[in-house]
Amino acid sequence: MLLRSLQKSQWLPHQPLRNNMNPTSLKLRRASATLKSHNQTPRKVRLVTDLVKGKSVSAALVALQFLPKRASEPVAKLIKSAAANASAEGGSASGGKEKWDDLVVKDIIVESAGILKKYMPRAFGRASLIRRRKSRMKVTLAPYSAKAMKGT
């Protein structure tokens, strides 16, 4: 059916709606949030994000609350932001609001957001390079279903 194949991101307001579709009838496929620059290396952040992949939002937030890693707080904030985006975009049968318990962390991508290079003075007039790595995180949430979790 055309309604299921059309995702919300593909529909543009200036396009005419086909088959008596309206934008509120489109189902929520995915909700996402992005943290563009976090001052920690991607390798250390991936230790935290690998822990919560595939968990429900509430279980992921509980796991991050008691994790003694520096990256756990920004990852928790990012998951909360993506869940708030999901409930704001809505489009489900429950009046447009997605419950946090019904959402699953489908994917978290951590990539490099650049390197700040600076120099430290060393003995005999030399200098050594210090690399401050930054990371970028993208979280994607999806409604919980057995079929959706098979792909991960």
| DSSP annotation string for 99-148 | -GGGEEEEEEEEEEEEEEEEEEE-GGG-EEEEEEEEEEEEEEEEE--HHH
Sorted by where each begins, the domain ranges of the chain are 30-150
pLDDT at 149: 55
Q: What is the DSSP letter of 80?
A: H
| pLDDT tens, N- to C-terminus, the chain (152 residues) | 344 444 444 444 444 444 544 444 345 467 889 999 999 999 999 999 999 999 999 999 999 999 999 999 999 999 999 998 888 766 544 445 557 778 899 999 999 999 999 999 999 999 999 999 999 999 999 987 744 455 55
Predicted local confidence at residue 21, as pLDDT: 45
User: What is the b/e burial string over 6-43, where b = at least 16 CB atoms within 10 angstroms of the residue's CB?
Assistant: beeeeeeeeeeeeeeeeeeebebbbbbbebeebebbbe
What CATH architecture does domain 30-150 belong to?
Alpha-Beta Complex (3.90)
